Amino acid sequence: MSTPAAPAPAPAPATAECQLIQGRPIAQRIQADLKTEIEQLRAQNVALKLVAVMVGENAGSTVYVNQQRKLADSMGIAYELMQLPGTSTEADVIQVVERLNADPAVTGVILQQPMPQQIAIRNIIEKLNPAKDAEGMHPNSLGHVLMGDAHVAPCTASAVMEILAAQGMNLYGKEVVIVGHSDIVGKPLTLMMLNKFGTTTTCHIATSQAHKLQDHLATAEVVVVAVGVARLIKGEWLRPGTVLIDVGINKVGDQIVGDADFESCKLKCAAITPVPGGVGPLTNTMLMKNLVALARAAHH
Ligand code: NAD
């Protein structure tokens, strides 16, 4: 009697489909809600005006300013660019900020970065009236982020929170790893996610140097990476089913890539943001959201 043939090996489980999270439709939805709020404010005689302060010439900043103006126009928000010479001193810029603080028509101010070397942006931000802090970068705004009762928060960190909310992600009890601890993204985001009861771990350069980054990522259910190192995060480091938000913008040759190695990560993730097209399209919308929130806070 011949021995029965060994059963055929079970087929490998199909890789679950990884969802690509596009930022633009989320941004458009938020813009539509904001437009309604802006109309309600206008009915109460509250007009919004955003002023961007730019010191010197910078191709990147010019692109941002043009995008901001276009979005502001489309939402019925007045927008003005104050361009100062590249030789301006800190005192010159502070003088402009103080003028904007005193102007009742100006409801929000952006300090366009980078500024020339002779200007420490921190010294300027501290002079801005927190009630006009459209970028959510004033220490007063950041203090409220810490306490969990902020009107405004840094735009990119807010963009990440909006994406997770749009995903229906409940952070309560989730293992969250944030890679990057900058003042504008990683640190405020850690606090914002902690305020939602995520179990947050913030990794940074020292985590990598101590060879511990992969250990943290291995248990993460949500990963946000904001580092500025092209394709740093590899799929094989991730737990299957991770939701990965990639904030990074890196130029590699003539390509823009994120901080995650997209091709290997998408094989492991339940959902992932592409670069470009993920977080980026939401940042300016968050600026407008902050502007509306400031106006609401001032007139409620
Ligand atoms: P940053 O440059 O101020 O700080 C970098 C952070 O990454 C630090 O915490 C540093 O310790 C950490 N880091 C550096 N190398 C690392 C490594 N090998 N391993 C682990 N951690 C490491 O950061 P930023 O200003 O928050 O910018 C981060 C990235 O996000 C950049 O690519 C930037 O262009 C991008 N960014 C995108 C948007 C957007 O709208 N999408 C907005 C802001 C920043």
Residue nearest to atom 13 of ligand 1 (CA): 205
β pairing state of 78-84 and 49-55: parallel
- Within the chain, which residue ranges are assigned CATH 3.40.50.10860? 44-137+282-298
Ligand 1 centre and the CA of 253: distance in Å?
19
Residue nearest to atom 1 of ligand 1 (CA): 182
Which CATH code fits 19-24+154-280?
3.40.50.720
Ligand 1 centre and the CA of 101: distance in Å?
31
β pairing state of 250-252 and 255-257: antiparallel
- The binding-site residues of ligand 1, defined as CB within 6 angstroms of any ligand atom, are 156, 179-182, 184-186, 203-205, 207-208, 213, 226-229, 232, 247-250, 279-280, 283
Global confidence as pTM:
0.94
Ligand 1 centre and the CA of 65: distance in Å?
21
Task: Tell me the pLDDT tens digit for each residue of 230-282.
Answer: 999 999 999 999 999 999 999 999 999 999 999 999 999 999 999 999 999 99
Ligand 1 centre and the CA of 228: distance in Å?
4
Task: Tell me the pLDDT tens digit for each residue of 66-109.
Answer: 999 999 999 999 999 999 999 999 999 999 999 999 999 999 99
| Amino acid 14: pLDDT | 40
| Amino acid 6: pLDDT | 54
Residue nearest to atom 4 of ligand 1 (CA): 182
Please report the sign of the dihedral spanned by the C-alpha atoms of residue 248, residue 19, residue 194, residue 31. Answer: positive
- Percent of the chain scoring above 90 in pLDDT: 92
At 61, the pLDDT band (50, 70, 90 cuts) reads confident
Residue nearest to atom 17 of ligand 1 (CA): 205
- Within the chain, which residue ranges are assigned CATH 3.40.50.720? 19-24+154-280
| Amino acid 3: pLDDT | 52
Given a cut of 70, whether residue 218 has pLDDT beyond it is: yes
Retrieve residue 56's tokens. Answer: 């010197």
Average pLDDT (205-216) is: 98
| Amino acid 11: pLDDT | 44
Q: E strands of the chain, at which residues?
A: 19-20, 49-55, 78-84, 108-111, 175-179, 199-203, 222-225, 242-246, 250-252, 255-257, 269-272
Contacts of 8 by beta carbon, 8 Å cutoff, 6+ apart:
none
Residue nearest to atom 16 of ligand 1 (CA): 205
SS3 136: coil
| Amino acid 58: pLDDT | 86
Ligand 1 centre and the CA of 72: distance in Å?
27
Separation of alpha carbons 55 and 225, rounded Å: 30
Mutate to test the pocket of ligand 1, among 184, 185, 201 (most ligand atoms within 8 A of CB): 185
Ligand 1 centre and the CA of 227: distance in Å?
3
Contacts of 49 by beta carbon, 8 Å cutoff, 6+ apart:
77, 78, 79, 80, 105, 106, 107, 108
Classify domain 44-137+282-298 at the CATH class level.
alpha beta
Contact (Cβ atoms closer than 8 angstroms) between residue 184 and residue 157: yes
Q: What is the DSSP letter of 281?
A: H
Ligand 1 centre and the CA of 199: distance in Å?
21
Task: Tell me the pLDDT tens digit for each residue of 142-193.
Answer: 999 999 999 999 999 999 999 999 999 999 999 999 999 999 999 999 999 9
Mutate to test the pocket of ligand 1, among 137, 215, 227 (most ligand atoms within 8 A of CB): 227
Length of the chain as a residue count: 300
Given a cut of 90, whether residue 2 has pLDDT beyond it is: no
DSSP string, 209-268: HTT-HHHHHHT-SEEEE----TT-B-GGGSPTTEEEEE---EEETTEEE-SB-HHHHTTT
Considering only CA atoms, give the Rg of the chain. Answer: 22
